């Protein structure tokens, strides 16, 4: 039953799992270190004293592309629209197309 699985395939799975776990853990470690560094320096944990935080909705671009954050992956299904070739990105309502908003942590302390 398992004869068709070769050693290289098993190695491929192992590397894939390793890369996946590294990808998941890396941003968490990075944010943990940076937040502790910021607090030790007396900086705002949220924005690092920039007084601005990148918009979470448009990822700082100020533009919203139709289809949401997963629009890089083509979804083939009932909702797949063959008629639409290009959708022009619309300006982000969350940050009024600025790409950032003022830090709530800093603005409340003022
Ligand atoms: Zn935005
Ligand atoms: Zn702040």
Query: Residue 65's closest CA among 90, 85, 97?
Result: 90
Say if residue 38 is in the same domain as residue 12: yes
Say if residue 69 is in the same domain as residue 33: no
- Containing structural domain, residue 109: 46-74+88-110
Residue 81 in domain: no
Query: Residue 106's closest CA among 35, 59, 47?
Result: 47
Say if residue 26 is in the same domain as residue 62: no
Question: How many domains would you assign to the chain?
Answer: 2
- CA torsion angle 16 19 21 25 (round to 10): -170
What's the CA-to-centroid distance between 103 and ligand 1, angstroms? 13
What's the CA-to-centroid distance between 62 and ligand 2, angstroms? 20
What's the CA-to-centroid distance between 35 and ligand 2, angstroms? 12
Residue for token pair 């030790």: 40
DSSP notation for 11-64? HHHHHHHHHHHHHHHHHHHHHHHHHHHHHHTT--TTTTT-SEEE-TTTTTSSEE
pLDDT score for 64: 85
pLDDT score for 14: 80
**Ligand with an atom nearest the CA of residue 35:** 2
Say if residue 27 is in the same domain as residue 59: no
Residue 83 in domain: no
Say if residue 5 is in the same domain as residue 36: yes
What's the CA-to-centroid distance between 102 and ligand 1, angstroms? 12
Say if residue 13 is in the same domain as residue 55: no
Residue 108 in domain: yes
pTM of the complete model? 0.42
The conformation of residue 90, written as its DSSP 8-state character, comes to E
Residue 79 in domain: no
pLDDT along the chain (110 residues), means of 10: 76 79 65 69 82 88 70 52 61 91 77
pLDDT score for 99: 92
**Ligand with an atom nearest the CA of residue 90:** 1
């Amino acid at each position: 039953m398992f004869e068709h699985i070769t050693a290289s395939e098993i190695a491929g799975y192992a590397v894939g799992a390793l890369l996946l776990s590294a990808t998941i853990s890396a941003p968490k470690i990075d944010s943990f270190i940076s937040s502790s560094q910021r607090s030790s320096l007396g900086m705002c944990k949220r924005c690092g004293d920039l007084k601005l935080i990148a918009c979470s909705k448009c990822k700082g671009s100020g533009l919203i592309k139709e289809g949401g954050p997963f629009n890089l992956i083509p979804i083939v299904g009932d909702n797949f629209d063959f008629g639409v070739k290009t959708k022009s990105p619309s300006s982000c309502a969350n940050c009024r197309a600025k790409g950032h908003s003022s830090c709530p942590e800093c603005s409340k302390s003022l």
